[in-house]
């Protein structure tokens, strides 16, 4: 059996719609093994929205690898141990896709290169901003091209923390993409290019004072925040408590605030405020570090059946 550990991820990071994302230290584990025949899928905690047949996202990701390399297991057992909350903007689907591709590649003897896996994952997800950090870790700047992903991975220092606010309701990425406008104004495109460029420079040079300005967005948040009660309240709370920027995580509904080494004071202030605020949803709160490793093998026992 092969066990693969794959991180959550937060995409967009403010202005970098579909091209920036970071892996986070919150993990799903995918255990796979070749069996004589059939497909057995188990999941814990169990969730009715997780398919247990060929529609399962991890299985579908694995199948893209088998189709690509022309090797198929006789049968397959998949066990999913999930820590990443579903449909909350923390890359649960990217974790399934990148982790499934990574596990399938191990099962078939490592026929695909890392670049090929990154491309297959981004193609399946439709954008590379979650799938690439889920695969290789770090904070990634990535563009999906015709046949490859062009990307740069930045190894995130431990002093930068990610304060994650997770509400008790879901928002599917598909839905949150469909409500975006087909066209945007030229000035909004200019606004975002400036902020995304500033973010890339500020984060890689450690100029965190620029992050509140660099994480502003006009491409997706103005439209999506209407679907997220409390969005402005949580963002303002974070900024008042000293965050270096606060924004929607991926398509939402989770919100992320960037915090530096003063995170313990930030954490205390936020927890106190959350307890007394009048909010529509219940918001879970946790402080995470970036994961700089991506999908990794947890353990390998025997891999596939003898042929
Ligand atoms: N652990 C899992 N196992 C199987 N499918 C999953 C798992 N996690 C997420 N999914 C699939 O991904 C969907 C959520 O994807 P999406 O709407 O993109 O949200 P997210 O922001 O969490 O990636 C779920 O409805 C489910 O179909
Ligand atoms: N760039 C995408 C990112 C979606 O991330 P998810 O974690 O919400 O699936 C978008 O904003 O649609």
Residues 264-286 have a mean pLDDT of 94
CB burial class (10 A; 0-12, 13-18, 19+) of residue 301?
exposed
106: nearest Cα among 296, 245, 307, 279: 296
Mutate which of 16, 127, 175 for ligand 2? The one with the most ligand atoms within 8 Å of its CB, which is: 127
Q: Is 127 in the pocket of ligand 1 (CB under 6 A)?
A: no
Per-residue pLDDT, 82: 97
Question: Is residue 152 within a helix (H) or strand (E), and if so which, with residue range?
Answer: strand 149-154
Phi and psi (nearest 5°) for 204? Answer: -80, -20
CA–CA dist 198, 212 (Å, integer) = 11
Place of tokens 């066209």: 183
The pLDDT of residue 307 is 61
Mutate to test the pocket of ligand 1, among 45, 92, 94 (most ligand atoms within 8 A of CB): 92
Q: How many Cα atoms are found within 13 Å in the side-chain-facing hemisphere of 229?
A: 9
Taking the C-alpha atoms of residue 260 and residue 270, their distance in angstroms, rounded to an integer, is: 15
Rounded CA separation 226/153 (Å): 32
Q: Is the CB of 90 under 6 A from ligand 1?
A: yes
Instruction: Quote the pLDDT of residue 261.
Output: 84
The whole-number pLDDT of residue 6 equals 98
Range with lowest mean pLDDT among 207-216, 249-258, 295-304: 295-304
Write out pLDDT tens, residues 34-61.
999 999 999 999 889 999 999 999 999 9
DSSP string, 127-167: SHHHHHHHHH-SEEEEEE-SS-EEEEEEPPPTT-EEEEEEE
The pTM for the full model equals 0.96
Ligand nearest, relative to CA of residue 129: 2
What are the structural domains of the chain? 2-155+292-300 (3.30.230.10), 161-289 (3.30.70.890)
User: What is the chain's mean pLDDT, rounded?
Assistant: 96
Residue 262 pLDDT more than 90?
A: no
- Please report the ipTM that was assigned to this predicted complex: 0.98
Secondary structure of residue 101 in the 3-state scheme: helix
Q: Give tens-digit pLDDT for 181-201.
A: 999 999 999 999 999 999 999
Is residue 290's pLDDT more than 60?
Answer: yes
- The mean pLDDT value for 256-278 works out to 94
CA distance 102 to 176: 27
Percent of the chain residues past pLDDT 90, beyond the cut: 95
Instruction: Look up tokens 């660099």; give the residue.
Output: 214
Q: 29: Cβ below 6 Å to ligand 1? A: no
pLDDT-based confidence at residue 299 (cuts at 50, 70, 90): confident
Binding-site residue ranges for ATP: 85-95
Q: What is the pLDDT of residue 205?
A: 97
Q: What is the mean pLDDT of residues 64-71?
A: 97
- For 69-117, how does the pLDDT look when each residue is reduced to its tens digit (9 = 90+)? 999 999 999 999 999 999 999 999 999 999 999 999 999 999 999 999 9
Atom of ligand 2 nearest to the CA of 94: 9
Confidence (pLDDT) at 71: 96
240 has pLDDT over 90: yes
For 138, the token pair is 């770090």
Cα–Cα distance measured from residue 28 to residue 206, given in angstroms and rounded to the nearest whole number: 30
Pocket lined around ligand 2, Cβ cut-off 6 Å: 11-12, 17-18, 89-91, 93, 127, 129-130, 173, 177, 220, 250-251
Instruction: Give 302's pLDDT tier (boundaries 50, 70, 90).
Output: low
Give the integer Cα–Cα distance in Å for 48 and 203. Answer: 39
pLDDT tens digit sequence for 119-162: 999 999 999 999 999 999 999 999 999 999 999 999 999 999 99
């Amino acid at each position: 059996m092969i066990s693969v550990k794959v991180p959550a991820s937060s995409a967009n990071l403010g202005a970098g719609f579909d091209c920036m994302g970071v892996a986070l230290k919150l993990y799903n584990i995918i255990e796979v093994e070749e069996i004589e025949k059939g497909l057995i899928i188990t999941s814990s905690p169990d969730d009715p929205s997780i398919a247990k047949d060929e529609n399962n996202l991890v299985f579908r990701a694995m199948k893209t690898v088998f189709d690509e390399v022309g090797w198929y297991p006789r049968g397959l057992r998949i066990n999913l141990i999930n820590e990443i909350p579903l449909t909350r903007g923390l890359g649960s689907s990217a974790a399934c896709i990148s982790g499934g591709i990574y596990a399938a590649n191990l099962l078939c003897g490592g026929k695909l290169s890392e670049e090929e896996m990154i491309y297959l994952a981004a193609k399946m997800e439709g954008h590379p901003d979650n799938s690439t950090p889920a695969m290789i870790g770090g904070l990634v700047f990535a563009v999906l091209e015709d046949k490859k992903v062009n990307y740069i991975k930045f190894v995130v220092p431990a002093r930068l923390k990610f304060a994650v606010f997770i509400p008790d309701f879901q928002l599917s990425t598909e839905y949150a993409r469909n409500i975006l406008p087909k066209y945007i104004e030229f000035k909004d495109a200019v606004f975002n290019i400036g902020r995304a460029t500033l973010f890339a420079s500020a984060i890689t040079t450690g100029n965190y004072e620029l992050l509140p300005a660099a994480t502003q967005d006009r491409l997706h948040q103005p439209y999506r925040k209407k679907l997220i009660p409390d969005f402005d309240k949580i963002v303002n709370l974070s900024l008042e408590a000293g965050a270096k920027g606060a924004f929607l995580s991926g398509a939402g509904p989770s919100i992320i605030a960037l915090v530096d080494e003063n995170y313990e004071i930030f954490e205390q202030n936020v927890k106190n405020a959350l307890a007394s605020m009048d909010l529509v949803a219940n918001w879970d709160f946790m402080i995470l570090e970036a994961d700089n490793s991506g999908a990794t093998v947890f353990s390998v026992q025997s891999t596939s059946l003898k042929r």
